[in-house]
Amino acid sequence: MEKNLTTGSVFGNIVRFSLPYLLSYFLQTLYGMADLFIIGQYEGVAGTTAVAIGSQVMHMLTVMIVGLAMGATVTIGQAVGARDRRGAAGCIGNTTTLFLALSVVLTGLLLALARPIAAVMSTPAEAVPGTVAYLRICFLGVPLITAYNIIASIFRGLGDSKRPMYFIAIACAANIALDYLFMGAMRLGPVGAALGTTLAQAISVLVAFIAIRRRRSVAVSRADLRPRRDVMGQILGIGVPVALQDGLIQIAFILITVIANLRGLTDSAAVGIVEKLISFLFLVPSSMLSAVSAIGAQNIGAGQVQYAPGKVVKKLVYCLLAFFLGWAGIHKFYAGRIGAGIVYLLFCWTGIPAIIAFIEFIIGLCKKADAAGNIVV
């Protein structure tokens, strides 16, 4: 049964939705962190470097898939808010078709590019074999990552962020146990880390699939699986900008990794571990924004625009301010988000607000304005 996010306190709904989402995102990120921690106990610097580089690539891939899945969450949420069960079923069916096709293409492409990716990352020679082996096995698990995020996006679109947290918690526990088996007992090194991660992902998909089969709130037929241009266009129109936003941040981290790799094994391993720790800092704002998106989707679908989180601004003015003065948070002040604007001002010296503002400028450009030239931010 779907959960109604159109009533009650906005703040309460955001907190109740975002906390399980934060924990599930944290646990999904913990996959690579667990691999690094455990391989550090049994392998040398070359093995640790291989997993550090490989997990960095996989983390970028995962966050982009999660971002793309946000398009499904919002689309399904709007249908649920409008009490349109047939529309929700069509969104779920098209989400399944789109992501399964994407995962097949992506898996084949990534398997062919495993060694070139290791080369582009300037992987130290001693770590190249381990990095390539780790990536190839993890790339075989891309359909599993995609399948989990399909099911998670469906649950979140229905207003339920707790069940995806349970699924990933089970998988994370399995990953740690399998890592100790493959890397500790069997001494498989980076290959063992990749095997543990991939098998754990399979467990999360199996548990999630059983749970969604038991859920009878929205019935999906074969006809719902047929691609519909309008539905897929809506999913991609929302999901692609979010995926690009998250992907660009990860590309910045990867560039830092490439520079560290040029300095040798020790620096590369150290930077890989530190970047994993830093990635956790991005989880809090990401989970809050995802909660706002899901709640806003249901309320927009229900016609309660005044309840939906977000501010109506002139697209042209907002984009210009984000591009030229975003480093100082001026576009945030313009949108009425005073607290966010102050944070941008306080941290403008780091350069991070400028990067985020540029991403927000791109997202603003991608949004379709209404007849009056307004968008919601």
Residue that wins the pLDDT comparison between 108 and 260: 108
User: Please, are residues 375 and 238 in contact by the beta-carbon 8 Å criterion?
Assistant: no
Q: What is the model's pLDDT at position 348?
A: 81
Q: What is the mean pLDDT of residues 293-319?
A: 73
Quick one: which of 95, 31, 90 has its CA closest to 68?
A: 95
Q: Is the pLDDT of residue 246 over 80?
A: no
Q: Which of 106-110, 227-231, 252-256, 354-358 has the lowest mean pLDDT?
A: 252-256
User: Is the per-residue pLDDT at 307 higher than 60?
Assistant: no
pTM, 2 dp: 0.74
In angstroms, the CA 28 to CA 363 distance is: 25
Yes or no: say if 241 and 361 are a contact pair by the CB < 8 Å rule: no
pLDDT for 305 equals 58
Instruction: Tell me the C-alpha to C-alpha distance, in Å, between residue 57 and each of 36, 80, 118, 189.
Output: 14, 35, 9, 18
Please tell me the predicted confidence (pLDDT) of residue 253. 76
DSSP 8: S
Q: How does DSSP assign 197-263, residue by residue?
A: HHHHHHHHHHHHHHHHHH--SS---GGGGS--HHHHHHHHHHHHHHHHHHHHHHHHHHHHHHHHHTT
Comparing 194-203, 259-268, 343-352, the range with the smallest average pLDDT is 259-268
Q: Residue 190: how many CB atoms within 10 A of its CB?
A: 31
Lowest mean pLDDT of 39-43, 162-166, 266-270, name the range. Answer: 266-270
Instruction: Say if residues 131 and 123 touch (Cβ distance below 8 Å).
Output: yes
CA separation for the pair 103, 216 (Å, rounded): 26
* pLDDT confidence of residue 217: 64
Distances (CA, A) of 35 to 56, 126, 146: 11, 19, 20
The set of residues, in sequence order, having a beta carbon less than 8 Å from that of 324 and lying 6+ positions away, is none
Q: Evaluate if residue 1 carries a pLDDT over 60.
A: no
Q: At what angle do helices 265-281 and 283-301 cross, to 10 degrees?
A: 40
17-64 pLDDT, tens per residue? 778 887 887 777 777 678 878 888 888 888 888 888 888 888 888 888
Q: Are 211 and 163 in contact (CB under 8 A)?
A: yes
309 pLDDT above the threshold of 60: no
- What is the C-alpha to C-alpha distance for residues 22 and 292, in angstroms, rounded to an integer? 13
Q: What is the C-alpha R_g of the chain?
A: 21
Residue 375: φ, ψ to 5°: -135, 165
So what's the pLDDT on residue 32? 67
| pLDDT score at 9 | 64
Task: Give the pLDDT confidence score for residue 73 in this predicted structure.
Answer: 86
User: Which tokens belong to 256?
Assistant: 């830092």
Alpha-carbon distance of 165 to 174, in angstroms, equals 14
**Does residue 118 contact residue 261 with C-beta atoms inside 8 Å?**
no
